[in-house]
Every structure is written in structure tokens, then in C-alpha cells.
Structure 1
Amino acid sequence: MIRVLIADDQELVRAGLAALLNLEEDIEVVSQLASGEGAAEAVQANSVDVALLDIEMPGVDGISATKDLAGLCKVLIVTTFGRAGYLQRALEAGAAGFMVKDAPAEQLAEGIRKVMAGDKAIDPALAAEALVAGINPLTDRERDILRIALTGASVKHIAGELFLSPGTVRNHLSSAIGKTATTNRTEAAQVAQSKGWL
């Protein structure tokens, strides 16, 4: 029996996934969470084999939770947002699989079996898109700055929040604008978010 944890902030989706997976003879959903927060504890307390994580959740998101679960269980990201950048970040964090929520239930169950067996389970269309898109060109610092820029914050505010000088923030923004082929920080942040780079 493959013991599964589901972390998704949408209760209906979480319950629906659990109901579908519990119909499988070899899969049992043993824990459900509304965030990645507490995932490591739940995995250990319930002897979880595979964690199904959404990417965008309040508090601890799916990428951060994947890092927290390293060495504790296999992770399969199941998300609405099939973005190549998310796929790359999930794999870098240690996920063994990445599927979109509109996949058939049988495909999700098969993905769980694959990652349990030590294989990768990645949506083929998304894998092809990721190859075409290439790697995320942004540095960690550029990503930090663009995340804050998404809120419409000024350079001074970004600098204060990240304990950097305004000049350093401007330099990073200039680099990020060039890498995203945009004309200002707002556009750069929006493009980076749409590609799943943030």
C-alpha cells in the first residue's frame, strides 16, 4: 500500500483527489493539509511514502515544502499552473514528478506509482515546453527583488526590505529587465511570474 499525503489550499480539490485516490487498491491517502506548513511532521507521523503538493499555497508553498521533505518521502507536484519555470524549480527542489490537475485520475495514480518506484513522473507536454523555454536566467537575488516588485513597491522600499542599497537594487532590476526582454520592473516581474521563475 502506497501511503499518500495531499497538501492543497483548495479544500474541494484536496477532498476530490483523496476520494479518487482512495478508490485505487494500492493507494491510501493518510493525511491532508491546506498548506505545506507541517508537511514534514505529517509525513513522519503517518509514514507517508509520497506527498502530493500544490505549488501556490499560503504560508509554505509547494516548492519550499518539497525542500523540507527531502529524504523523508517522494514528492509529486500536482498544480493548476503548468509553467515550465515551476517544473524546473520543483525538480531543482527535489520533486520526483510534476503533473497538472486536469490530468485524468488514472494518470495521477500511475504517477504516484512511478515516483514510488524511483522513476520520474512528468507531464510530457510540460517537459517539452521546459526544454524549449530553457533554464531560468534570473539569479536568486533578482528573483527576490522581482517578487517584491510585483507588489508595486518602490526601489527604496525594496532596498529597505532586502537590506540593500537603492543602487544595488537598480542594478539587479536592470539585469532582470534585460533577461526578461521588458522595459520596466513591473513588466519584468509579471513576465517572470508568468513563466514560473518567481
Structure 2
Amino acid sequence: MIKVLLAEDQHVIRSGLVALLGLEDGLEVVADVGRGDDAVSAALVHVPDVAVLDVDMPGLDGLSAAATLRERLPSCRTLILTANGAPGQLRRALDAGVGGFLLKTAPPDDLVAAIRAVHEGRRVLDPSLAVTAWDLSADPLTPREKDVLRLLADGAEPAEIGDRLHLSAGTVRNHLTAIVTKLNARGRPDAVRIARESGWLD
């Protein structure tokens, strides 16, 4: 019997997945939660074989939850189930050591097969992401540039960014120029959009 933990913040989707997996021989959903931090705590209690994690959840995103589970419960394999197949998210998933990355548009049978494959130690990648994985671009931003861009995305002006990060106004401007250039963006708002869509602003 493969023990499965399911973490998905949309209740209707989560209930449907619990019902689907409950019909499969050899699978048992031992816990289902709607928050990433709850996924970690529930896993430590129920010790599942496979954790199926959505990416966008409150508390802790699924990729961070996967990385935490890898450290605290290495016997639990992880499968990311997401609506977003952005290269940055796929890169983060690989860096977090996940066993599988599947889009929510995949047929139900593919999810069941992926859970079984991940449990056996095999890597699973949604077929539609094969080209993305082949030409996977690494995150070009430095940690400091991400700090600057996160504050910009939250609406902070350059002067406020400088105050909060203890940087001079000139240094902030230099970081913003570098960010726009690296992302080949049309401007600062476009840089925020590109970084978010690529999964580089966690």
C-alpha cells in the first residue's frame, strides 16, 4: 500500500483528487491539507511514501515544502502537481529533489501512474514539458537582485528599497538596470512579470 499525502489549497480540486486516489488499488490518502506548512507537519505525523504538492499554497509554497521534506523526511518522495510549467519553477523543483513534475491538465491516469513511478524511485516529467526541460534556462538573478525585485514588485520605490536593504540609491538603480538587462525586459514592471512567470520570485 502506497501512503499518499495530498496538499492542494483549492478545496474542490483537493476533494476530487482524494476521491480519485481512493478508488485506486494500492493507494491510500493518509492526509490532505490546504497549506504548504501543514503539508510538512502532516507528513511528519503520517509518514507518507509520496507527497503530492501544489506549488501555489499559503503558508509555504509546494517547492519549499518539497525541499523541507527532503531534509526532514527523506523517505517521503515528492510529486509536484501544478498549473504552471514555467522554466523557473521546473528548475526549482529539480533543485529541491522532487521525483515528479506534473501539470494539472494531465489525465487522472497519468497522476496515478506518476505516484506509482515516483514511489519506485523513478523521475516523472509531464510530457508537455519535455522541450522546456531540454532547454531549461537557469535563474540569471543574484540573491541581492531578487531582494530588490521583490520589494519593487510589492510597490516600493527605489529610495524605499535602498532604505530597507541598506543600499545607496545609486546601487539600487544599478541593480534595477542589471535586472532589466538580464531579463531582456521592456522596463521594471515587465521585469517583475518575467521573473514571476519564470518562477524566479518565490
Task: Report the counterpart of residue 128 of structure 1 in structure 2.
Answer: 131
Contact 1:75–1:97 (8 Å) recurs in 2: yes
**Shift of residue 47 of structure 1?**
1.8
- The aligned runs of 1:98-137 (5 Å cut-off) are 98-137=101-140
The answer as to whether partners of 2:91 and 2:136 remain within 8 angstroms in 1 is: no
Task: Using the TM superposition, give the Cα deviation of residue 158 of structure 1 relative to its aligned residue in structure 2, in angstroms.
Answer: 2.4
Q: How far off is 1:84 after superposition? A: 1.7
Aligned residue in 2 for 1:177: 180
SS at the partner of 2:105?
coil
Number of the residue aligned with 2:21: 21
Aligned residue number for residue 197 of structure 1: 200
The Cα of 1:100 is off from its aligned counterpart by 0.5
What 5-or-longer segments of structure 1 have no aligned partner?
none
Per-residue deviation at 1:58? 1.6
Residue type at the aligned position of 2:90: L
Check 1:97–1:177 CA distance in 2 against 1; reply closer, same or farther (3 A cut): same
Q: What is the number of residues matched between the two proteins?
A: 198
Matched with 2:35 is 35
1:85: how far off? 1.4
Percent of matched pairs sharing the same residue: 45
The alignment status of 1:45 with 2:48, answered yes or no, reads: no
| SS of the residue 1:190 aligns to | helix
Query: Structure 1 residues 151, 116: closer, same or farther in 2, change over 3 A?
Result: same
Task: Provide the rounded CA distance (Å) in 1 between the counterparts of 2:89 and 2:146.
Answer: 13
1:84 and 2:87 matched: yes
C-alpha distance in 2, partners of 1:95/1:106? 20
* CA distance 1:29–1:162, shift in 2 (3 Å): farther
Displacement, 1:39?
2.2
**Structure 1: distance between partners of 2:193 and 2:7:** 26
Measured against aligned partners, the alpha-carbon deviations of 1:29-72 in whole angstroms (never above 9, x if no partner) come to 11111111132221121121111111111221111111110141
Bigger drift between 52-61 and 165-174 goes to 165-174
| 2:10 aligned residue | 10
Q: Which runs of structure 1 show a deviation greater than 4 angstroms over 4 or more consecutive aligned residues?
A: none
Q: What one-letter code is carried by the residue in structure 2 that aligns with 1:115?
A: V
User: Greater CA deviation, 126-135 or 38-47?
Assistant: 126-135
Question: What secondary structure is seen at the aligned counterpart in 1 of 2:35?
Answer: coil
Moved more, 75-84 or 149-158: 149-158
Q: 153, 156, 160: which one pairs with 1:157?
A: 160
Alignment RMSD (CA, Å): 1.6
Give TM-score, length-normalised by structure 1: 0.92
Shift of residue 186 of structure 1?
A: 1.4
Unaligned 5+ runs, structure 2: none
Structure 1 residue 133, shift from structure 2 partner: 4.5
